[in-house]
Amino acid sequence: MPVKTRIAVLVSGGGTNLQALINAQNDGRIPHGEIVIVISSQEGAYALERAAQAGIPAYAVSKKKLGSQQLFEEKISSLLAEANAEFIVLAGFLSILSADFTQQWPDRIINIHPALIPSFCGKGMYGLKVHEAALAKGVKVTGATVHYVNEIPDGGKIILQKAVEVKDGDTPELLQRRVMEEAEWVLLPQAAELVARKISEEK
Ligand code: GAR
């Protein structure tokens, strides 16, 4: 049995990417990792419900309530330490992490972005806005990217990418759904296993 890397999943919303990770774990597709904690930046996010249903400890940490980025990140850091997390997967986590935070986790944080980086990425490009921008530009192909997270939003080294066709008559919602089904939910578990395996082999 491989030594499992302890994975923290950070979320903000519906958590369909978290669900893809949970399903992959249950199917044995993440043999080198184990999700040990879920942290949401939004109270009441449906992702928290998905974690609870899977029996994974889940917490909400509200930047608004805590009052500053520093206190927000301190709270996240203490939850990660309590869970002995070794690897962070951002799965629809829509809050930007500071350089102070990301520098503590070099090559230990990955993110899923719903476009082919370097297109339609960076600060302010998240969720439906990404697909609105892709449609406004008229691209015929978009996709998803999993990348390491550093101090530059969407700027870290690319791990996996998958292209998805844009179809006539697409709305941002239709395109978002196709990118999730064809790319995000496939790539994120694959990338989580790749990095979890790398970390477990370094131990
Ligand atoms: C996903 O499409 C994810 O790629 C995107 O937010 C959505 C979250 O959905 N993330 C970003 O835009 C990050 N810049 P989910 O909560 O159902 O996984």
State residue 176's pLDDT score: 98
Q: pLDDT tens digit string along 166-182?
A: 999 999 999 999 999 99
Mean pLDDT over all residues of the chain?
A: 97
Q: Is the CB of 126 under 6 A from ligand 1?
A: yes
Residue whose CB lies within 8 A of the most ligand 1 atoms, among 16, 176, 179, for a mutation test: 16
Q: How many CB atoms lie within 10 A of CB 158?
A: 14
- Whether cis (ω within 30° of 0) applies to the bond prior to 118 is yes
pTM over 0.85: yes
CB-ligand 1 contact for 91 (6 Å cutoff): yes
123-to-97, 159, 166, 178 alpha-carbon distances in Å: 11, 20, 23, 23
pLDDT of 109 over the 80 cut: yes
In whole angstroms, give the CA distance from residue 95 to residue 45.
14
Give the model confidence (pLDDT) of 32-73 as tens digits.
999 999 999 999 999 999 999 999 999 999 999 999 999 999
Query: If you measure from the C-alpha of residue 203 to the centroid of ligand 1, how many angstroms do you get, rounded to a whole number?
Result: 31
Å from CA of 82 to ligand 1 middle: 26
Residue 86's pLDDT is 98
Please give the average per-residue pLDDT across 183-192, as a whole number.
Answer: 98
pLDDT band at residue 203 using 50, 70 and 90 as cut-offs: confident
pLDDT, residue 151, reads: 94
Q: Is 153 in the pocket of ligand 1 (CB under 6 A)?
A: no
> For ligand 1, is residue 155 a contact (CB within 6 Å)?
no
Two structure tokens written together for 11: 């979320």
Is the predicted pLDDT of residue 196 greater than 80, yes or no? yes
- CATH number at 5-202: 3.40.50.170
pLDDT for 202 equals: 93
Residue 113 a catalytic site member: yes
In angstroms, the CA 161 to CA 179 distance is 11
**Which atom of ligand 1 lies at the shortest distance from residue 179's CA?**
2
So what's the pLDDT on residue 43? Answer: 97
Confidence grade of residue 1 (pLDDT, cut at 50, 70, 90):
confident
Q: How many residues does the chain have?
A: 203
